[in-house]
Amino acid sequence: MDGLLLIDKPAGWTSHDVVAKLRGILKIRRIGHAGTLDPFATGLLILGIGKGTKKLTALVGLDKEYEATIRLGASSDTFDVEGLITQIIPSEQREPRDPFEVIPPLPPVGRDDIEEALARFRGGYEQLAPLHSAKKIGGKKLYDLARTGKATEEMRPKKFVKVYRLQITDYRWPDLKINVKCSSGTYIRSLADDIGRALGVGGYCLELRRTKIGGYDVRDALQIDGLTKDQALGSLKTQ
């Protein structure tokens, strides 16, 4: 019972939830995964079973491909839909006099402006990790520091990430759908926030789906719901 198993992670599950589920199905403890997916995200998760766990380190470094929806006109403290959402008010507009006054929404951003903004990130750029991430500072995870109010913007680690492809697949204000191929370690949440900042209207990751890890494709992945031991063993990749 050794090899790799491709799973299409559903929304609401942590990557560890998937590992725990497979341990229960296969009755084996030695299971790990390559490349964590946030709970709100869906898509390809590669699991190492038995001796297959030895291959995971190499898989983590492979390029990734994603489909994402960015909600423009608002920001999130976690850069995704699970955080505290703040609507962006145009700078020329004042704050409402009372809580019942309606402030007009931001005007839609033109597609040409979006293309111009995306061009800044193609090829690669210095990306700051989200404060709400598993990156460690002084032995403590950033999201633990953020939850206790001890994290600061200066603590966000910076890394040069490569963005090989960044294309618009659909745009209907305020939702921008993009297709991304990038190097390992790229935070799509941070990219969404960075794009929103470049446009001057804010943005956060509303939906995220990982479609590829290297040559592995989510179309070849199994659904975790209703998965049986025989199905899992029959789909193990041993090469």
**Residue 93 CB burial class (10 angstroms; 0-12, 13-18, ≥19):** exposed
Beta strands in 10-54 (DSSP E): 31-34, 42-49
**Burial label, 232 (beta-carbon count in 10 A; 0-12, 13-18, 19+):** buried
Q: 80 catalytic, yes or no?
A: no
Tokens of 126: 């210095």
- Helix and strand counts by DSSP (H, E) for the chain: 6, 15
**Which one is catalytic: 2, 8, 17, 38?**
38
Task: Indicate the burial class of 108 (C-beta count within 10 angstroms; 0-12, 13-18, 19 or more).
Answer: middle
Coil, strand or helix at 108 = coil
- The answer to whether 135 and 157 are in contact (CB under 8 A) is yes
With contact defined as beta carbons under 8 Å apart, do 83 and 76 qualify?
Answer: yes
Active site residues: 38
